[in-house]
Amino acid sequence: MVNDVIVLTAHRDFDHIAKVTDLRHEYVAPTL
């Protein structure tokens, strides 16, 4: 039951996490 919730949450938030990661890369790259 808990595993199903984690999988569904991860799948639902995947795009959001990807966008946050992209923003983080765009923010860090110019600094480097």
Q: What's the confidence (pLDDT) of residue 16?
A: 72
Q: What's the confidence (pLDDT) of residue 9?
A: 67
Q: What's the confidence (pLDDT) of residue 19?
A: 76
Q: What's the confidence (pLDDT) of residue 10?
A: 63
Distance (Å, whole) CA 18 – CA 2: 23
Structural domain boundaries of the chain?
1-32
Q: What's the confidence (pLDDT) of residue 24?
A: 67
Task: Find the angle CA(18)-CA(13)-CA(21) to the nearest 5 degrees.
Answer: 20
Q: What's the confidence (pLDDT) of residue 17?
A: 72
pLDDT in tens, the chain (32 residues): 567 776 666 666 777 777 777 766 666 655 55
